[in-house]
Amino acid sequence: MNDPQPAPSLYAAREPIFPRRVSGTFRNLKWIILAVTLGIYYLTPWIRWDRGPSLPDQAVLLDMANRRFYFFWIEIWPHEFYFVAGLLIMAGLGLFLFTSALGRVWCGYACPQTVWTDLFILVERWIEGDRNARLRLHRQKKMDLRKARLRLTKWVVWLLIGLATGGAWVFYFADAPTLARDLITGQAHPIAYTTMAILTATTFFFGGFAREQICIYACPWPRIQAAMMDEDTLVVGYRDWRGEPRGKGKRTADSELGDCIDCMACVNVCPVGIDIRDGQQMECITCALCIDACDDMMEKIGKPRGLIDYMALSDEANARAGKPPRNIWKHILRPRTIMYTSLWSLVGVGLLFALFIRSDIDLTVAPVRNPTFVTLSDGSIRNTYDVRLRNKHGDDRPFLVTVKGDPAMQVELEGVPEGSVTVPANTALLQRVYIVTPKDAAPSAQANTPVRIWVEDLTNGDRAHKDTTFNGRGN
Ligand code: SF4
Ligand code: SF4
C-alpha cells in the first residue's frame, strides 16, 4: 500500500512587495492628498480658538472629562450626540457615493492605511534605495554592517512616525501644549502613555510590515464595496484588446503584437503586487499608479497613453468595436449616485438646520415615577421631575422655571425658594422640580394631564420647553 500523501498546506507565506518609484498625474495627486491629510491630522490639535475665559481654546477637542466636543465655533453637548451620528451617516453615504462612481477611490487615495503605508515606503526608498536596491538587500542573507545600519535607520524613522501618530491622537483629547509638556516631563496620565504606545506599535507594524495584507485580509471594505459598484463604475483596467498579444521588441508595420511591451512596469509599481493585465482583482485598491507607469512606457515607445486607464465595464463593448467611450458624466451621473448625493445632502441640510435653530439654553426632563404621585397632608397632589438645565453661555445665568398645563398647578424647586435658579457658565445643572395641584383644584388638574415645563433665561428672555405628564388620582 502507498503511504498517504501529506495534506497540502493551506498557508501561503507572504511575498514581500517592493514597489518601484513612479511619477505621473496620479502619483502627484496621491502626494498632494498625503500631504493634506497628514498635515490636517498632525497639526489640527495645535490650532487655537478663543471661546472666552471659561472654555478651552483648542479648536478641535474631545473633552471626555467634561463630556463636550469642540469643533471650531461648534460645541456639541452630550445630549446633542445626534450631530456626531449625523456626520458619521454623511461620511458613510459619501463613501457609498464615491465607491459607486469611482470604485475603491477611498482605498487608493485617502484611507489611513494607504496614506501611512505610502509614507513608510517613501522613507524606505530614501534609506534603502529604489526597488532593485531593496530587493538586493532583502535577498542578502548575511546581516553585515551596511544592512544592519540601513535596517536600523529605517526602523527608527518608522518608530518616530509611529510616535508622532500616536502623540497627535492623544492631543485631540486634552489641551495639546499642556499635554505635550506633561508627556515630556513624565507627568501625563498613564492612559496617554498607553494610548501612544499602542498607536506607535500599530502604526509601525501596519505601515512597515503588514501593508497590503491589511487591505487584502483584515479590512472588510473590499468585500462590502462590490455591492455599490456596477458596470458604470469607473475602475482601473487594462485595454487587453489593444495591448494583446503582448510581447517585447520593436513593433513593425506587419507586427501582430499589441501595444503591451511586457515591461512589467505596471506590476513593479503596484503596492499590492498584482498584475492588472489579469483583469479586475479584489486586491486592487485603484491607486492608479499602474496607469502612470504604463503611460510613461507608452510615451517612450511612441504609442498613445491609456493602455491602462480608468474605464467602465459598460464601455468595453464600444471600445472593442473601436467606438468612442460614453461621456464620463454619463457614468458618474446615474440613479444610484444621484440617490446617494440626495441622501447625503438631505442629512447635511438637516444637520445645518438643527445647528442653527438650537438655543443657548436647554433642558431635559426625567419624571420620577416611584411613586407616580404623592398626596400631601393637606390633600394636594405632587409630582416630582429631575430637570437638567443647560447654560451654554460663557457667564452664569438665572433660569426661571414655570409650568403650563392647568392654571392651578404650581412649580416648586427643591432648595430654591425664589423660583429661579442660577446655572453656572457652560454647565448642566440637575434641579429637582415639583409640580403641585391643590386639593380643591378642578378634577381635570388632578387627573392624568399633559404639561409643559418652561425655562426662561432672565438675562435675555430666551426660552425653552419640554413636554411631560402630570399623574394624578385619575390614573
Ligand atoms: S493594479 Fe494598479 S490600481 Fe490596482 S493596486 Fe495595483 S497599481 Fe494600484
Ligand atoms: S506597463 Fe504597460 S506596457 Fe508595460 S507591461 Fe504593463 S501594460 Fe504592458
Domain boundaries, the chain: 25-81+96-226, 228-336, 361-471
Query: How far apart are alpha carbons 236 and 288 in whole angstroms?
Result: 6
Contact 435, 402 (CB under 8 A): no
Instruction: Please check whether the domain covering 361-471 is classified as CATH 2.130.10.10.
Output: no
**Residue 236, CA distances (Å) to 103, 307, 328 in order:** 9, 10, 14
Taking CA atoms only, the protein residue closest to ligand 1 atom 2 is 290
Residue 285 Cα: closest atom of ligand 1: 5
User: Any idea which ligand is nearest the CA of 237?
Assistant: 1
89 φ, ψ (degrees, to nearest 5): -65, -40
470 φ, ψ (degrees, to nearest 5): -100, 125
Residues with CB under 6 A from ligand 2: 243, 260-266, 277, 293-294, 297, 307-308
Query: How far apart are alpha carbons 223 and 207 in whole angstroms?
Result: 22
Residue 108 Cα: closest atom of ligand 1: 8
Average pLDDT over residues 310-324: 85
Percent of the chain with pLDDT over 90: 69
The amino acid present at 275, given as its one-letter code, is D
**Is the pLDDT at 2 greater than 70, yes or no?**
no
**Is the pLDDT at 446 greater than 70, yes or no?**
no
Q: Which of 21-35, 200-214, 221-235 has the lowest mean pLDDT?
A: 221-235
**Whether the CB of 311 sits within 6 Å of ligand 1:** no
Average pLDDT, the chain: 91
Percent of the chain with pLDDT over 70: 98
Q: How confident is the model at residue 459 (pLDDT cuts 50, 70, 90)?
A: very high
Average pLDDT over residues 146-169: 96
Contact 423, 430 (CB under 8 A): no
**Whether the CB of 215 sits within 6 Å of ligand 1:** no
**Residue 309 belongs to what H/E stretch?**
strand 308-311
**Is the pLDDT at 155 greater than 90, yes or no?**
yes
What confidence score (pLDDT) does residue 393 get? 87
**Whether the CB of 291 sits within 6 Å of ligand 1:** no
Query: How far apart are alpha carbons 325 and 230 in whole angstroms?
Result: 16
Local structure of 256: helix, strand or coil: coil
Residue 293 Cα: closest atom of ligand 1: 7
Angle between the N-to-C axes of helices 112-128 and 131-139, in degrees from 0 to 180, rounded to the nearest 10: 80
d(CA 122, ligand 1 centre) in Å:
17
